[in-house]
Amino acid sequence: MDYIVVLLAFLTFLSTLIGGTFAIKLKRYLPYFFAFAAGSLVAVAFFDLFPEVLSISATLNIPIRDLLVALVASYLFYNLLERFFLTHHFHEHGQEEKGHIMGPIAASSLVIHSFLDGVAIGVSFQANPALGIIVALAVIFHDFNDGINTVTVMFRNRHKDRNASIFLLLDAIAPIIGVLATFAVSIPETYLAFILAVFVGEFIYLGASSILRETFEHTYWKMMIPMVAAVVLIFVLTSII
């Protein structure tokens, strides 16, 4: 059965790579990718990560208030972090420097999230092979969006194709490493709940505050179409699990 798990993990690699490459090659449509990424990040936070946080909280009797504190603290941290660096990264003419540090920070979080997607596949297969296949298929489709999101947050922060491609490759490899990690190590669910809560806060900030701003100068209804499409897509994918 192990070879099937690894094969599915490899498909997540291809899915992520295809999604990110799609975003890189079609940069002229970048505002639409920004809108899509904004919708998908918020949807992932509420339809995927937060329900898992609530489930772990109920199972282990972790006070939900503690997890909400981690969530809000994460949101405020990334808000202050970006504002601090934005304040200190302007040239004389008020233009933001290329290669803003928030790009790698956000992309790294998406890489960790993809790693946890791989962990989810491995753990699901250990519990029930049929469930593992369903989870893996959902992750494969979901990681297409992750590839787009990873490239988008890098472009949003003025990084070049090369840097975006590096993080795209890391994001594509992460689920495979996550699956392989479940063969040897397991993450305590208590820690996992707080890690996921931090991701919820960050993804809400990235989607609803940071990336969304890039769509404000474009036609409202044109931006709403990919945003709503992303929300619906994530809702459907998370409903499959």
CA atoms of 215 and 194, how far apart (whole Å): 31
Q: pTM (2 decimals)?
A: 0.68
| pLDDT bracket for residue 98 (50, 70, 90) | low
Do residues 168 and 22 touch, judged by C-beta distance below 8 A? no
Do residues 234 and 107 touch, judged by C-beta distance below 8 A? no
pLDDT at 190: 86
Percent of the chain with pLDDT over 70: 85
Whether 17 shows a pLDDT value over 70: the answer reads yes
Domain containing 125 equals 2-240
189-214 pLDDT tens trace: 888 888 888 888 888 987 888 777 77
Whether 147 shows a pLDDT value over 90: the answer reads no
**CA trace torsion 106, 107, 108, 111 (10° rounding):** 130
**CA trace torsion 24, 29, 32, 37 (10° rounding):** 10
Whether 83 shows a pLDDT value over 90: the answer reads no
Task: Please count the structural domains in the chain.
Answer: 1
